[in-house]
Amino acid sequence: MAVAFTMVDALKHAGRNPTRASLLKAATHLDERNNPFLRKGIAVKTSDYYPIDHVQLQRYAKNHWVSVGGVVNTRG
């Protein structure tokens, strides 16, 4: 769902009559902080072809997901 949300966002930014070039430009210039399918504090930013640079691990415990630790920067 998160990927689909981001794809729709890119299509919206590609313009009324999107071309391959306009979609590529829109997809490589996203700064999406409102994706409801991502954890709070995690954004999709594609200025350098590396869209998600923060993650948070989760573990399934019986009947729900439990966060493990905090949000971690994956770049170092």
The pLDDT tens digits for 6-63 are 999 999 999 999 999 999 999 888 888 888 988 777 788 887 666 777 788 889 999 9
CA distance 59 to 74: 18
Q: What is the pLDDT of residue 60?
A: 93
Quick one: pLDDT at residue 43? 81
Across the range 61-73, mean pLDDT stands at 88
pTM here is 0.67
pLDDT at 49: 66
How far is residue 26 from each of residues 32, 44, 51, 54, 65, measured CA to CA in Å? 12, 13, 13, 21, 33
Q: Which residues contact 75 (CB under 8 A, 6 or more apart)?
A: 50, 53
